[in-house]
Amino acid sequence: MTELYNRSLEELHGMLVSKEITAQDLMRATFERIKETEPEIEAFITLNEEKALELAKALDEKGIDENNVLAGIPIGIKDNIVTKDLLTTAASKILYNFDPIYDATVMDKVYQADMIPVGKLNMDEFAMGGSTETSYFKKTKNAWDHSKVPGGSSGGSAAAVAAGQIPVSLGSDTGGSIRQPAAFNGIVGMKPTYGRVSRFGLIAFASSLDQIGPMTRTVKDNALALTAISGYDEKDGTSSGVSVPNFAEGLTGDIKGMKIALPTEYLGEGVAPGVKEAVLKAAETFRSLGATVEEVSLPHSKYGVAVYYIIASSEASSNLQRFDGIRFGYRSENVKNLEDVYVNSRSEGFGDEVKRRIMLGTFSLSAGYYDAYFKKAGQVRTLIKQDFEKVFADYDLIIGPSSPTVAFGIGENINDPITMYMSDILTIPVNLAGLPGMSIPAGLSEGLPVGLQLIGNYFEEKTMYQAAYAFEQATEFHKQQPAILGGQGE
């Protein structure tokens, strides 16, 4: 039973259908694995053991549907996705005791697919950060090297999958928060097209950028999970009615004739030599599979970070007004009047990075500066979007690094906001344009995983999965594993 944590979703499904194991067996083995590795990884904020075992028992009694690959599969949930009767903290002190009375739409979809949520995963506070070091609760470790960060903000979601605690997790991506931690931990992470997955019940950071997506160890597992959580939702005004294909169907590995673009800006200054080398080798792999790979330019991508931090911080300053110490969450006891309740609860409840972004956003939206900052950022966002549209007029896919570097040390960059912000330079433009982006393993540098980023046109996730699957089948990178999984990692 110990080997269950290293199997694909289809393998686990086969074992459940053949009754080699029961859903309860799988659930018990999952919690055993979590308890064994959690002291090293620290990926979970809250576990859902009692309810998960109840759901597994009910599923065993009902019987596993042989046509539903996800039935009985354990899944971890990022802690900014609202879960009924299960603490949802967004890794913040201000929500340390928040027990929701409803489920996010993606949770309804998880239950409809008969997947079983095992707990809530650590993250940067309110998804603000790129290393999972701004969490109020704990610092999650990289699965490959516990002295390194797991990336962020979905660091818990990535590390838990990479360490074999769970086969699949949900993260959220506002400027790279699924793809960068997926890259740092050597797994597959998909940020779908904006509107593909409902945001209802996702604690908002920046509403025009946020998107929920799956994190898994293989491309096909990821495609299965995205199929389950996608679809129109009337509760989300930005939800798209575009039909949802079965993303896992027809993954053949045939990409002959596919046209792939490699932006020169994505291999420029600041990209580590080992990362650049892995991406150029990946381009050669795609060529050997019959695809055309050509260099292109995305000239406005260099403004992405500046545009993103104005827009995202402005939206955050608006979204975080609801956390006021009155209706739910933390309330300061050090108060003499109503104003003290607001000011002290927020001062004591929010961490430094959240306060920094609220202040930056409030400044950008203020009367004297709105035109100079927020309005201008919106205009440049349109130029970034147009750059992508020009490339997609001629190409099926764009590739590049997911992150300029491999995982950095815990504590190394946390006191340098500019360095932290710049580490998202390659992922941010995708969110600004609302495009789908994913990270897949593309080798090792300095003994740590390198992520290859694939960017698709709107609602072209199927094309991305086809290319990613072809790359995965042609290489062995997805089989490289950290020491915690019995591999050769650090």
Query: What is the C-alpha separation between 198 and 421, in angstroms, rounded?
Result: 27
Return d(Cα 141, Cα 160) in angstroms, integer: 10
Assess whether 109 carries a catalytic annotation.
Answer: no
SS3 1: coil
Query: Phi and psi (nearest 5°) for 365?
Result: -95, -5
Residue type, 87: L
444, two tokens:
């090792």
CA distance 119 to 49: 8
| Structure token digits, residue 193 | 């097209």
Residue type, 308: Y
Q: Is 157 a catalytic residue?
A: no
DSSP sequence for 394-414: T-SEEEEESSSSSPPBTTTST
Taken in order 319, 325, 328, 331, is the CA torsion positive or negative? positive
Closest alpha carbon to 312 in 139, 173, 475, 123: 173
Q: Pick the catalytic residue from 169, 177, 198, 439.
A: 177
User: 3-state SS of the chain: helix, strand, coil percent to 5?
Assistant: 45, 15, 45
Peptide bond preceding 153 in cis form (omega within 30 of 0): yes
Q: Which two tokens stand for residue 133?
A: 């070091």
Alpha-helix residue ranges (DSSP H) falling in 302-435: 304-319, 338-349, 352-365, 376-392, 417-422, 428-433
End-to-end CA distance of the chain: 25
The encoded tokens of residue 325 equal 């110490």
**Beta partners for residue 262, in sequence order:** 295
Q: What angle do CA 154, 202, 37 make, to 5 degrees?
A: 35
Task: For residue 438, give the nearest of 476, 398, 486, 485 by alpha carbon.
Answer: 398
Strand-pair partners of 148: 409
Sheet holding 188-191, edge to edge: 44-47, 116-121, 74-78, 168-173, 211-216, 188-191, 437-445, 448-456, 397-401, 259-263, 292-296
Beta strands 259-263 and 292-296: pairing type? Answer: parallel
Query: How far out from the chain centre does Cα 490 lie?
Result: 23
Distance CA 166, CA 179 (A): 18
Tell me which of 92, 131, 153, 169 is the catalytic residue: 153
Is 177 a residue of the active site? yes
Task: Provide the residue count of the chain.
Answer: 490
Rg (CA), the chain: 21
Positions marked active-site: 78, 153, 177
